[in-house]
Every structure is written in C-alpha cells, then in structure tokens.
Amino acid sequence: MVQLTTAQAIVRWLANQYIEIDGEELRLCGGGFGIFGHGNVTCLGEALYNYRDELPLYRGQNEQGMGFAAAGYAKQWLRQRFMLCTASAGPGTANLLTASGLAHANRLPMLMLCGDTFLTRLPDPVLQQMENFNDPTFGVNDAFKPVTRYWDRITHPAQVIQSLPAAIATMLDPGDCGPAFLGLPQDVQGWTYDYPDVFFEKKVHRIRRQAPDADEVGDAASLLASAKRPMIVAGGGVQYSRAVAELTEFAESHQIPVVETIAGRANLLSDHALNIGPIGVTGSDSANAVAKKADIILAVGTRLQDFTTGSWTAFAQDARFISINAARHDAGKHRSLPVVGDAKLSLIALGQALGDYSAPQSWVSDSKDQRAKWDASVADNVAYDNNRPNSYAQAIGVVNALCDKRDRVVAAAGGLPAEVTANWRTLDIGTVDVEFGFSCMGYEIAGAWGARIAQSEREPQQDTITFCGDGSYLLMNSDLYSSVLSQKKIIALVLDNGGFAVINKLQNNTGNESFNNLLSDCPTIPAPFAVDFEAHARAMGAAAETVAGPAELADAFTRAKASQRSYVIVMKVDPYVGWTEGGHAWWEVGTPHVTDSDRVRQAHQDWEATRVKQRRGV
C-alpha cells in the first residue's frame, strides 16, 4: 500500500499508462496543458511538478486554446494518444466548455482535470463559486455533462481507482471516443488514501478492433454486388482505424470511385485514379455529380454530417446506403444497412465477401472524367495574375506548390475550410486537418500548436501550416505566443478580408443586406482601421511579414520554411470576389418565412424550392 493524495494518485497512475503503436510502447498521455489557479495549483500542481519530465505540462494562455491544442494533438496521433488539460475552479474551467464541445463533436480523446468547489462546503460560498439555491451540488462543472463522453466528480480519493480506468476506456473506445472530465473538489485533491501498489503498475493499452458481424457483412456484400453505380464515401474514421491501405485496396480491387468527407481529406492522394474529390456543401463538382447518380453508397468511417450530405440533398432519393462504422449510432443513419465494426477489419471482410465484383467500366470512366474537369477548375481557382484580386484559393495554391508532402495543414471556421477542402491537392496521407465538426473559430492557431507538439515527437523536420482568417486570428491568437515560448514552430497564413466575409456572403446570398459582419458594415464602428497583424505577431515573438499578393507570398513562404521560429505571413484578400463558386451542394439554413424585403422573400422562395431534393430520415 502507498499513501497518496488524490491528485498524486491521479498523476502517478497516468504516468504509468502506455500504449503500443506500431510495436513501440509510448506513454498514453503525452503530457498536458495547464493554467493554474487556486482551484488546482496547490494539490494537482504539486503532483504534476513531481512528474514534469514524464508528463510535460505546457503553459497555455487561455483554457479554450489549451483544449483546442489537445484536440490538435489527438488528431495528429490518430486518437492513439491524448493530452490532459487542467484548469482552476470557476471561469478557468468554464473556458474549456467550447473546446470540450469541439472534442465531442469530432470524437477526440481529451482528459480534463478541473478544480471544483469544496466537498465539505465549510467555506461556502467561495471565490468564483456559482451558487445554485435549490441544488448545492449543481455547479459550473455540471455544464460539461452534455459535451463529454465520460463525466465524474471525485468525492473520495478511492474513486479514482475506478474512475480513471473508466475514463481511459472511453477515450480509447473507437465507437465511444470523446473527451473525459473529472471534477476535482479543492479539498478532495489533497485528501489521502492508502492505495494498493498494484494500481500503479505499468499498463500497456491497445485500441480494440471490433470485428464485424458476419451476417451484416454478408448483407452488405449482397447489396453492394447489385450496384450499377457504386460509390465510397471515405470519412475521418478511415484514418483513425489506420485503414487507408485497406480502403485503397478495396477501391482498386472492385474499381469503385471514392469521394472524401471534410474529415476524410487526405485518405487518398489527389492524383489517385479513383479519388473523385471532396463531397458535399463545400466539396467538388466531380464528387457531387457522382453522388447524384450513385445507386449504392458505401460510407466508411463517417457520421454523415450535413456538409457531407448537402443536408441530405446530395444523393438520389432511391439511393441505398451501407455504413461501416465502429459507432453503432453512426452505422444506422438514414436507412443505412449497418456494418458495425472496425474499418480495417470490415473492409477486408467485405472485400472477401464481394468476390470478383467490379463496378461497370463506363461508370468508373465517367467518374474519372468528372474529376478531370474538377482538376481544371481547381487549377483555375488557384491561378493568379495582375487582373485577379487576391483570394483564399490563390494563397492555398501557393502553399500547396511549395510545402513538403508531409507538412500538416490546418484550417477551421469561416471561409477557409471550404476553400482548403475544395482546392487543396493532397500530397501525402493524413496531412490535412480541416476542423469542421464543430466549425470552431480560434482552433486554427491553438490546434496547430497542439498538432506541432505531436508532430515534433515523430516528424520534427516537418512543418505545421495553418490558414487563418482575420476574424479567427482576432478571436484567439495567444497560442502563437505559446508556440514561440515552447519552441514549437508553426507557420500561420493570416488572410485578411476585413471581417467575417463568408458570413457576409451567406447574408447576401439569402437576400439580406450586409450588416455587422464586415467591419465596414458595422454601424457601431464609425471609422474602421486595419490591424497591423505583422506587428502584432512580432510583438509575441514570431517572425512576420506582410505581402501584397500571391507572387510575394511564394517568396515569403520559402523564408518561413527556412525559419526556426513561428512565422506569420499576412495577405489581404478580397471579401467579395475570388470565392470558389463550384462544388457546392445545397445546404439547409433557416430563412424568414415573413419579411418586408422583396429580396429576402425571393431568396426564401428559391431556397425552399430546392427542398424537394431532400431525403427524409426514415
């Protein structure tokens, strides 16, 4: 037996958890991100200090950014490793809510160890306590219940013997993966318990691969074998299952065209003959054209989000779905014939059951022709000359042409996810992170920092490149400073279009007047002025420069690649023109049913007129 505080037991146990990856044993928890306050510094801080080498703790600038960084780290490690986040009681912990929502939506592991109010209640009400008059057990930390996969409040030191393994089991479960939250009352953190020594023995974890049910595979094979126009929708789960090779072999053996979701970008190289392009609202003309005609769709590792399905207008009304997914909830969506299981094992089993089936050559040829047309569109999108205003697509094209094939590309909310998804030509597998599960502004820099920490553990010679709009940069830029402090270099492209231009575009497309999105259209801003993003970045220790256009950007990016420090390149882009106009499926948004504006009324009627294409979820 060994006597430890609750906090000491948590940290000691975490330090002894390992995972086997490609035959190598690594610590399951790569360390953590922490901002200390009175709710976590005295006890949990003391425990983490004693394991600062085994579990390196990165000092964040904002708890939300810490959570985004943990998500970026988990994505880079394909959910095989995670980071902890610790925050103080009250607003420090509350700042993690958005990041927890992002991790939940994207099915990412993240362990939150957060301060909580005193269990004894002897000093109540305490600093930063949210008092609930009718339920004294109900506090800020309860707000995490809807945005976590595992939630517990430790009210006795002995609880961690059960709670910690349960949290880890959740984070490593392919079908139930997501963030775990442990509320740690400030007094309980320091209470002691005689823990059994065996609890702290080294434990090596392996992520479970669930074999699919033979009957489900048989049914799926029978249906797919009847397809005249089959198509594969490849999602992010393909990469998390490390099933890219199996997906590729399956598609090639049966000559089935493949389209990618946003999370599934970089499942196939851009020049693979069967890669027909990204699908959906911000997809490609090629993938959407094929989707409209497909009779049997094999969805692999995707939750079929509305940007993938075009709010369920991207497919024919009578199309049939087969869904391979480790999560039962996802496998059964929209009348799908489910195959609940690991993507790697399921694709192998389905391939064997499918025998020598091959899609009709005319269908495959037509799909490839569609992709060739889209490639020409992308080439035009990214082209630049003196007659074109600066655009997102041009910046993407410049970076795409000059980056290393193993560099990681990050984008999140605003217009850039659509532009990256549509125009980025994948150079290597698993090198694209477009966070559109929660579409979260602020992820761009913080998530890139977390990805860079993970990347430096295996591919230190590569770069992490993040595309960031001016709106997202202004929302959360402090982890640029974190990257400088920790010497984890990132390259940030800050593309300034004077506000929230993509939402202004949506506003205009639905008949509304520009209002409160572009800085120039805000009545409460009498005289907008341009932020000196270069000077701001330099003030945080990064190297930075401003370029006039894509030609200068190419030279600047070369300098950024050669730099040892985080590097920011600023370029103004036009808020109105230069958007990628092709590749858009219909997207359902709420429009006013009653209005005094003729333009808004007409836009509503036009929007609703296309609803006839929408499949019903029955």
3-state secondary structure of 175: coil
41 is a domain residue: yes
Confidence check: pLDDT of 321 > 90? yes
Of 205, 237, 265, the last residue of a domain is: 205
pLDDT in tens, 167-200: 999 999 999 999 999 999 999 999 999 999 999 9
pLDDT given for residue 617 in this prediction: 63
pLDDT in tens, 528-552: 888 999 999 999 999 999 999 999 9
How far apart, in Å, are the Cα atoms of 19 and each of 8, 69, 163? 22, 21, 19
513 is a domain residue: yes
Q: 462 and 357, same structural domain?
A: no
Phi-psi category of residue 128: left, alpha or beta, with phi > 0 → left and psi -120 to 50 → alpha:
left
580 is a domain residue: no
**Core vs surface per residue 470-507: b (16+ CB within 10 A) or e:** bbbbbbbbebbbbbbebebbbbbbbbbbbbbbbbbbeb
Residue from 243, 290, 251 nearest 272 by CA: 251
pLDDT given for residue 530 in this prediction: 87
Express as a percent the part of the chain with pLDDT over 90.
94
Alpha carbons 560 and 558: distance in angstroms, whole number: 5
Residues in the chain: 618
pLDDT given for residue 618 in this prediction: 52
Residue type, 552: E
- The tokens describing 275, both together, are 């890669």
Residue type, 583: G
Q: 142 and 61, same structural domain?
A: yes
CA atoms within 13 A on the CB side of 514: 15
- The tokens describing 596, both together, are 């005094």
Total domains, the chain:
4
- The tokens describing 220, both together, are 């799926």
Of 351, 373, 395, the last residue of a domain is: 373
Alpha carbons 527 and 549: distance in angstroms, whole number: 25
3-state secondary structure of 221: helix
Alpha carbons 234 and 462: distance in angstroms, whole number: 26
Q: What is the pTM of this model?
A: 0.96
Confidence check: pLDDT of 151 > 60? yes
- The tokens describing 177, both together, are 């993966």
Q: Which residue has the tokens 């799909």?
A: 367
**Angle, nearest 10°, between helix axes 244-254 and 343-354?**
20
Q: 129 and 60, same structural domain?
A: yes
Which element (helix H / strand E) includes 66?
helix 63-76
14 is a domain residue: yes
Alpha carbons 364 and 368: distance in angstroms, whole number: 6
Express as a percent the part of the chain with pLDDT over 70.
100
Residue from 518, 501, 511 nearest 589 by CA: 511
**Core vs surface per residue 319-334: b (16+ CB within 10 A) or e:** bbbbbbbbbeebbebb
Which element (helix H / strand E) includes 49?
helix 44-49
69 is a domain residue: yes
CB-CB contact of 406 with 459 (8 Å): yes
Domain CATH for 291: 3.40.50.1220
Confidence check: pLDDT of 293 > 60? yes
- The tokens describing 282, both together, are 């911000």
CB-CB contact of 325 with 263 (8 Å): no
Q: 287 and 270, same structural domain?
A: yes
Q: 393 and 353, same structural domain?
A: no
616 is a domain residue: yes
Q: 201 and 247, same structural domain?
A: no
Distance from the first to the final alpha carbon of the chain: 57
Residue 360 banded pLDDT, cuts 50, 70, 90: very high
Residue 130 banded pLDDT, cuts 50, 70, 90: confident
Which element (helix H / strand E) includes 205?
strand 203-205
- The tokens describing 269, both together, are 């190289």
Phi-psi category of residue 461: left, alpha or beta, with phi > 0 → left and psi -120 to 50 → alpha:
alpha
What is the average pLDDT across 201-228?
Answer: 97
How far apart, in Å, are the Cα atoms of 604 and each of 510, 588, 593, 614? 7, 11, 7, 16
pLDDT given for residue 128 in this prediction: 86
Alpha carbons 296 and 201: distance in angstroms, whole number: 50
Q: 360 and 313, same structural domain?
A: yes
Write the DSSP string, 10-37. HHHHHHTEEEEETTEEEESEEEEEE---
Please, which residues have CB within 8 angstroms of residue 378's CB and are 6 or more apart in sequence?
Answer: 422, 423, 425
Q: Which domain, by its residues, includes 441?
A: 383-572
Confidence check: pLDDT of 415 > 80? yes
Q: 232 and 367, same structural domain?
A: yes
pLDDT in tens, 112-121: 999 999 999 9
Q: 245 and 144, same structural domain?
A: no
- Give me the sheet containing 82-87, strands edge to edge: 57-59, 29-34, 82-87, 110-116, 179-185, 150-153
pLDDT given for residue 615 in this prediction: 85
- State the alpha helices, DSSP H only, in 294-360: 306-309, 328-331, 343-354
Q: Which residue has the tokens 């094979």?
A: 221
- The tokens describing 61, both together, are 């600038």
pLDDT given for residue 129 in this prediction: 85
33 backbone dihedrals φ, ψ, rounded to 5°: -120, 135
Q: 492 and 394, same structural domain?
A: yes
Please, which residues have CB within 8 angstroms of residue 574's CB and are 6 or more apart in sequence?
Answer: 389, 390, 391, 497
Q: 341 and 401, same structural domain?
A: no
585 is a domain residue: no
CB-CB contact of 473 with 445 (8 Å): yes
pLDDT in tens, 365-376: 999 999 999 999
Domain CATH for 179: 3.40.50.970
CA-atom Rg of the chain in angstroms: 25
Residue 309's CB: how many other CB atoms inside 10 A? 26
578 is a domain residue: no
Q: 605 and 491, same structural domain?
A: no
